[in-house]
Structure 1
């Protein structure tokens, strides 16, 4: 996934030019100062563009890529191509950028790999989070658009479905890879495939399959030690998922359903021979097995948390890692329990609870800053166009993260329903 083309200095977007040729004018556009050497924020964007776009073979492509990223950061409202191009002050740039996204030949894979490596040096991933997104659409022409039932309301709406691989860092979350989910309607209709230019060999993957594929492929390009993977395995055989990640040397923290079958382990790691659901296993614990742990982020407050040595009953044959069930109950909503399965058995409970909160933080970053940098705004009709847009929108999101790190002060809920002071302690 790495690119071989070297960056050609002028493509960094900042020098002046005496020639009026559109491909050689300053990226800053009419009436604006050059991009580099002006202030630290401009240099951050110039450095990111330099590193991320170096795989593009031609200077005009690199220049268009930087224009697009800058437009995503500066345009107000929906990030249409016309809106994105408006910051340059050159009317012809709208057509130029349309061609760059929809009809050009550059591939997004090397750009995403370069973005992942560049951000890993500046905002090292603490975990990988597989995040699914539903992208509402007003029409029916966009590639992958279908009538989709809203899981919260049950109502049907027109939307695309995408799966993103996000790095959770101290600064915030940022995406490094994407999968556009395509239904059988899109893959089985020759006319639709031709209209959207869907490549031959493209197959339908569910969210879990797409997430695992991206983890085992894209996360390797970063070159950092393998970080924990968070994903939702409530509709999947969690034991098999954990084993697949373990084979790739990725530790995991999997959200599982209360009906997931588990085998409790003895203190020395031997199986008890029992098979029981996660809900039953947590429900049969003595109250003293639960301790109070402060949860960060959107789940701020104290949670009752228990950890139980176990192994997923659907773990395939072969070398088997020890696992833990983490049962997490919100003090304010004691009937709500989240179940997690992890092979990070040597982590303290408080660290596991903080790791679990990364999923909610990434969801917040996707729906907040991600929307503002255009991750959900592509209205084009082609498969390649969607991937090129979301790749550059990911770069814009990363630039925004570097320029404006996530605020440290997060809203907090009362520590307990009665206002009592609760003192967290580690569960046994």
Structure 2
């Protein structure tokens, strides 16, 4: 058997095992089989992964079965997501993992797709007609993948119930900010017992003092990006804009460190200042700053709650986890069809995202296993290369 064929069979079996975890979520055989075909298509080397190409990949004469899976047949996408998250925890679970929150947008035409409107697109760098999804990623030593998702609905949608009904959005679906969606996803991960040590998010989420307090009260460690204007209470109970804490900081208080391969191995100057009185001797709060080595005016700020003895390198690792989420978005789009969907309805969006995330989780687990195998072979090879006269003692 050739190596390529063996790899294909291995990947196919892994995908079938993942599918087996949630096949009970489908009460009929047709959607159950179509879901597996959908997953196979999402991982296939296709230029575009829309209804027609996925149907052709599955051997269907038309995309009708694909459309029924996403739009008509009843099945529990949130239940499938629970099963996918369980799969991630079983294969990648790590007590030192980081939960990372961020959103991404999907450019769309027209006004009928759920949640679509003219809003800022980070991908385009300008205001565009798009949908925005808020996602939660699981980042650990063995890999990183997406474990939760929510479609953001602007008030222009939630204030128009007839428009919502046409897009499959229930009357009981309220307006929620992106921050509220993020908080819900992290709460769900905590409730479901997902193993992790840290939570991190960008300034659009991390600026929320109420969310940081909620996490602190649950003793959840976090490194949350914030804006330079946010005022913080120091040990002397004086409110300071966070940037003022670092503007006059002596040079010897800054440490130059790399901050991850995800950033191309760049370096930056890092400093931290203790803030807030300690409520527990074994916990502390920091204001953390990262200053570009090449452009000193480029400074990012963070608010930290952590064990008292946490080192700077660990905080940098958590900050760098945000880049891992960007990698998740990129690979999920390029290899798992995250943005190649042709659904307009609210349930269909969540169904496609769930299956694309399942495909990405499978890919992540397979690659983690390959890396582990190669590392084991490397270690074994190093042992074989030793002089047999050498003693193990």
Task: Give the TM-score of the pair, scaled to structure 1.
Answer: 0.78
Partner of 1:193: 164
8 Å CA contact retained: 1:208, 1:232:
no
Structure 1 residue aligned with 2:18: 48
> Does 2:45 match 1:82?
no
Partner of 2:177: 206
Show the 5 A alignment for 1:63-78.
63-74=33-44, 76-78=46-48
1:239 and 1:251 map into 2 onto residues whose CA distance is 14
- Determine whether 1:373 maps to 2:373: no
Partner of 1:129: 100
Deviation at 1:155, TM superposition (A): 3.7
Query: Which blocks of at least 5 consecutive residues in structure 2 are unaligned?
Result: 372-393
Does 2:72 align with 1:107?
no
Compare 327-336 and 297-306 and name the one that shifted more.
297-306
1:58 aligns with 2:23: no
Shift of 1:72: 1.0
Contact kept in structure 1, 2:275 and 2:286, CA below 8 Å: yes
Give distance in 2, aligned partners of 1:319 and 1:240.
Answer: 22
- State the partner residue of 1:349: 312
CA shift, 1:214, in A, is 0.7
Distance 1:196 1:187, change over 3 A: same
For 1:267-416, what aligned pairs fall within 5 Å after superposition?
272-299=236-263, 300-311=265-276, 322-344=284-306, 345-405=308-368
**231 and 155 in structure 1: CA distance in 2 versus 1, 3 angstrom threshold:** closer
CA contact (8 A) 1:75 1:84 kept: no
Deviation of 1:259 (Å): 1.0
Cα 1:284–1:52, aligned 2, differ >3 Å: closer, same or farther? farther
Q: CA RMSD in A?
A: 2.9
> Do 1:261 and 1:276's aligned partners in 2 also have CA atoms closer than 8 Å?
yes
Q: Structure 1 residues 231, 98: CA separation in 2 closer, same or farther (over 3 Å shift)?
A: same
Contact 1:81 1:98 in 2 (8 A): yes
* Unaligned runs of at least 5 residues, structure 1: 1-34, 266-271, 409-428
Q: CA deviation at 1:285?
A: 1.4
Q: Equivalent residue of 2:36, what SS?
A: helix
Higher relative contact order (CA 8 A, sep 6+): 2
Distance 1:276 1:349, change over 3 A: same
Q: Mark the CA change 1:381 to 1:331 in structure 2 (over 3 Å): closer, same or farther.
A: same
CA drift at 1:276: 0.7
What whole-Å deviation, never above 9, does each CA across 1:292-319 have from its counterpart, x for those lacking one? 222103332222111111139xx9x999
Query: How far apart are residue 379 of structure 1 and its match?
Result: 2.1
SS of 2:314's equivalent in the other structure is helix
The one of 82, 85, 89 aligned to 1:116: 85
* Alpha-carbon shift at residue 197 of structure 1 (Å): 1.3
- Aligned mates of 1:45, 1:235 — CA distance in 2: 34
CA contact (8 A) 1:172 1:365 kept: no
Offset at residue 53 of structure 1 (A): 3.4
The verdict on how the C-alpha distance between 1:187 and 1:36 changes in structure 2, with shifts beyond 3 A counting, is farther
Count of aligned residue pairs for this structure pair? 363
1:229 has 2:190 as partner:
no
Query: Hey, what's the Cα distance between the residues in 2 that align with 1:140 and 1:398?
Result: 32
Once residues 37 and 268 of structure 2 are traced to their aligned partners in structure 1, the CA distance between those partners, rounded to angstroms, is 46
**How many Å apart are 1:209 and its aligned residue?**
1.3
- The one of 102, 106, 117 aligned to 1:146: 117
Q: Specify whether residues 370 and 397 from structure 1 end up closer, same or farther in structure 2 by C-alpha distance, changes over 3 A only.
A: farther
Q: Distance in 2 between matches of 1:226 and 1:172?
A: 13
Counterparts of 1:407 and 1:311, CA distance in 2 = 45
1:243 counterpart = 2:207: no
Contact 1:253 1:340 in 2 (8 A): yes
Range with bigger deviation, 318-327 or 81-90: 318-327
Question: Could you tell me which residue of structure 2 aligns to residue 97 of structure 1?
Answer: 66
Q: Which has the higher helix share?
A: 2
Measured in 1, the distance between the counterparts of 2:311 and 2:280 equals 27
The 3-state SS of whatever aligns with 1:39 is helix
Taking the aligned partners of 1:389 and 1:149, their CA distance within structure 2 comes to: 23
> 1:403 and 1:336 mapped to 2: Cα distance?
38
**Paired residue secondary structure (2:297):** strand
Structure 2 length normalisation: TM-score? 0.84
Which of 253-262 and 138-147 deviates more? 138-147
